[in-house]
Structure 1
Amino acid sequence: MVTAPAVEVLDDEIGVANAEAFRRLDVADPWVVDVATARDVIPGYDENLVLTSGAPMPWTEYVGGQREALIGGALFEGLAASRDEAVAKFASGAIRIGACHDYSAVGSLAGIYTASMPVFVVENRAHGNIGFCNFYEGKEPRRLNYGCYDEGVHERLLHVNTVLAPVVGEAIRRTGGVPLKSLIARALRMGDEVHSRNAAASMLFNREILPAVLDMVHDEVPGVRETMVHLAENDYFFLRLSMAAAKVTADAMAVPRSTLVSAMAFSCRGFAIKLAGLGDRWFEGPPPVHEGKLFAGHTEDEITWMGGESPITETVGLGGFAQACALTLQEYQGGSAEVMIERNRQMYDITHGESSTYRIPLFDFRGTPTAIDARKVLETGTTPVMDVGLAGRDGGQIGAGIIRAPRECFEAAMAAFEASA
């Protein structure tokens, strides 16, 4: 039997740990410093490795669009000459599958990385850790990260590798790196939440690299005009930077005895979270609860889950936790301004504190609710809300909306936490 003084000591320990984990999150200083190929910058990246979203699973458990995306990644990388060969090599282990988070990386939807793919390199200058996110494929609904692989997808991925990513990487290096925290804070004041709306952040990033781009034009660097047109036409481009910024921020939260959430992700199997005080352990539950708005010609029964790690943005107080900054999202993902505002207010009930940098004008510049506390989720019954794109069972994006993390993840996490006491 646990006595009252022992409970008080335990609560004090958790309080101290959570305060330190929150402090580390709040003072994080993410800078994008480079774009480089995965094999060159991600530690331990082998040529036969394909990364994907969510908690680690054996090949046999990947189904639907996430399985197809893994196969597409293997074909793109030349690890197999046919679909059947790729399946056989995944089954035998000749092609390895890794979880993005295990490599300090995050991936949108299926989150596919292969050795030759370019990644953003983001450095947390407050703590010295590095994180990665792969490059945006473009706004075409059929994309590898949405479970599609065909000739068009292949050509677009090649174009990213050979034209777009090298130009962006060169511009970032010439700039000396771009500070992302202050840029994101300004984007929130301009109508973004940097998960499902990145229009302002994308423009601000383009402005940051513009002097270097002009120098590159003068130096006749190939592909500059084409790359800048691509950036200007793709409002979602910045999402990969906000994800990498959130990843290096959340990774710095690791503090023993903390009940704060340090990662959220899902796979085709279900949703999962990590706690800052329990290391790399994932705690899984069923797929998230969703509501949203579908593109014309699609129906609810088409919605499927194929992975996703963009909820790392909500983990650090962005995305759905800054939804009141981006009320125009109602046109894209449905709902109403009143509902979005109320959802955002609910998140204060389940977080440790408020961001000192990311602020919501509509709430009189109150800091965004930041650092989900698993204990508060269970105490209140309120689960985290996230802004997401919705994938279809036949591949591609078919809509957008919000999801809520399942309660079961938090129950499992706190059971493990209490057992470790």
Structure 2
Amino acid sequence: MSEQIKNRIEDANRQAVERVLRSRPILVDIKPAIEVLSGMKKNSIFHAGPPIEWKRMSGPLRGAIVATMIFEQLVESWDEAVKLIESGQIEFSPNHDHDAVGPMAGVISPSMPVLVVKNEKFGNTCFGRLVEQKVQFGVFDEDAVQILKFWAKTLGPALGKAIRVSKGIDLKSLMARALHMGDELHNRPVAGTALFASIITPYLIEVLDREELVKVTKFFSTNDIFFLCMSMAACKTIMNAARDIEYSTLVIAMARNGTDFGIKVSGLGNEWFIGPAQMIEGRYFPGYKHGDANPDIGDSAITETAGIGAFALANSPAILSLIGGSAEDAIKYTKQMREITMTLNDTFSIPILDFQGTATGIDIRKVVKTGILPVIDTAMAHKQAGIGMIGAGVVRPPLEAFKQALYAFGRKYRL
């Protein structure tokens, strides 16, 4: 490779990572997906991970899709949903291809409320599905569907009113504060949820009647993982600011659909590079074992892509009781990620490491050269639709996806 090409790659990466660091994601609204997501139609269902057909979908993704179709009043049962899907009347597409993200199965449908997050520095806007504990894990019973109805009828409109009155909430500064309170903002967003609740509550009081206020505040009191949807949408907005930079080897998305794991790279446009989703190593809830688990699933690895999540695991020893491992392991993971990234973050820092920044900006060249794969901490879904979350742990992507991307980079730029 000539020095000229090397210099072009380094210049492109400096530009890309600078845009990551300078991004300022602001939560500006919550709207029904069909009003804000490009390409969303009445028969659309968007999902986590790279593209996939129904016949290859995992159990939890199928369960989430069926629950969502019942919520949308397209069908009343699993059998009706399968029949409609197999007739070709439902169009599936990855969230990431529409500037959106969703946790676990990540399913987004037309009526579902989504976060609207605008990058105040660079002007791009991205979207995030709200977080709950049933549908996103593949549960499709009546209780699960009722959660989606509560979102659409009560929670989404209420929060949307309050956010608009607030004139926008700076998510990046809130995330930095949460990191200093013990979150890593993927599997543990508890401090972020509390901080968001303290910021939004005065505006909720201003815009809601008493009955609505009680419902919304009760929701926050029983959903301490709620901020995950905001950290994910913020990270998507941050990383999208660095896309489509010629010659950049920066990874701008990592996502899983329960069958495949895919990445996108700044200098390679909108193309997916895919390998098999991996099994998660961690702890199981009582009554479950390794053979019950589905492979890795969800768009939530966008947090690690942006330099938080497991990249900040040293910051969050409390989460080890959920995912397993020791404090020493957490520090090792956090430091190891520096070997495959471009810089240290100047906003997201780790007190226990003398406030050094988190490793930020995954470089496909470094991943392939070192063989070190990004670490992701995540929840585990049962492989069978309808059961739900069964544990949590740590997982690594398939090296194959990064090799594919590097080969494609070489072809595109004739290296």
TM-score by length of 1: 0.94
> Using the alignment, how far apart are the partners of 2:274 and 2:144 within structure 1?
31
Equivalent runs, 1:363-374 vs 2, <5 Å: 363-374=353-364
What's 1:158 paired with? Answer: 149
Conserved 8 A contact 1:53-1:108: yes
User: Among 16, 19, 26, which residue is 1:31 paired with?
Assistant: 26
> Using the alignment, how far apart are the partners of 1:362 and 1:307 within structure 2?
30
Conserved 8 A contact 2:296-2:395: no
What's 1:3 paired with? Answer: none
What's 1:251 paired with? Answer: 240
User: Among 173, 185, 188, which residue is 1:182 paired with?
Assistant: 173
Structure 2 regions of 5+ residues with no counterpart?
A: none
Aligned-residue offset at 1:297: 1.3
User: Among 196, 199, 224, which residue is 1:235 paired with?
Assistant: 224
Conserved 8 A contact 1:146-1:306: no
TM-score by length of 2: 0.96
Q: In terms of mean alpha carbon deviation, does 68-77 or 14-23 score higher?
A: 68-77
What's 1:396 paired with? Answer: 388
Conserved 8 A contact 1:30-1:122: yes
**Corresponding residue pairs, total:** 410
2:290 maps to 1:300: yes
Aligned-residue offset at 1:309: 0.4
Q: Which amino acid aligns with 2:118?
A: E
Equivalent runs, 1:124-273 vs 2, <5 Å: 124-137=119-132, 139=133, 143-216=134-207, 220=209, 222-254=211-243, 255-273=245-263
Q: Secondary structure at the match of 1:237?
A: coil
User: Among 357, 376, 379, which residue is 2:369 paired with?
Assistant: 379
User: Among 407, 411, 415, which residue is 1:419 paired with?
Assistant: 411
Aligned-residue offset at 1:221: 5.6
Q: In terms of mean alpha carbon deviation, does 285-294 or 18-27 score higher?
A: 285-294
Deviation track 1:352-374 (CA, whole Å, cap 9, x = no partner) reads: 00111111111111111001001
Conserved 8 A contact 1:389-1:401: yes
What's 1:9 paired with? Answer: 4
Aligned-residue offset at 1:49: 0.5
Deviation track 1:386-416 (CA, whole Å, cap 9, x = no partner) reads: 1100111233000011111111111111011
> Using the alignment, how far apart are the partners of 2:321 and 2:76 within structure 1?
43
Conserved 8 A contact 1:289-1:406: no
Q: Which amino acid aligns with 1:77?
A: E
User: Among 77, 80, 95, which residue is 2:90 paired with?
Assistant: 95
What is the identity percentage for the equivalent residue pairs of Structure 1 and Structure 2?
40
> Using the alignment, how far apart are the partners of 1:98 and 1:221 within structure 2?
39
Conserved 8 A contact 2:65-2:107: yes
Conserved 8 A contact 1:33-1:178: yes
What's 2:66 paired with? Answer: 71
What's 1:345 paired with? Answer: 335
Deviation track 1:79-104 (CA, whole Å, cap 9, x = no partner) reads: 23433332232223211111111111
> Using the alignment, how far apart are the partners of 2:197 and 2:258 within structure 1?
34
Conserved 8 A contact 1:47-1:115: yes
Deviation track 1:322-342 (CA, whole Å, cap 9, x = no partner) reads: 111111111111110001111
Aligned-residue offset at 1:207: 1.3
Aligned-residue offset at 1:306: 6.7
Q: Which amino acid aligns with 2:25?
A: P
Q: Which amino acid aligns with 1:342?
A: K
Conserved 8 A contact 1:262-1:274: yes
> Using the alignment, how far apart are the partners of 1:345 and 1:306 within structure 2?
23
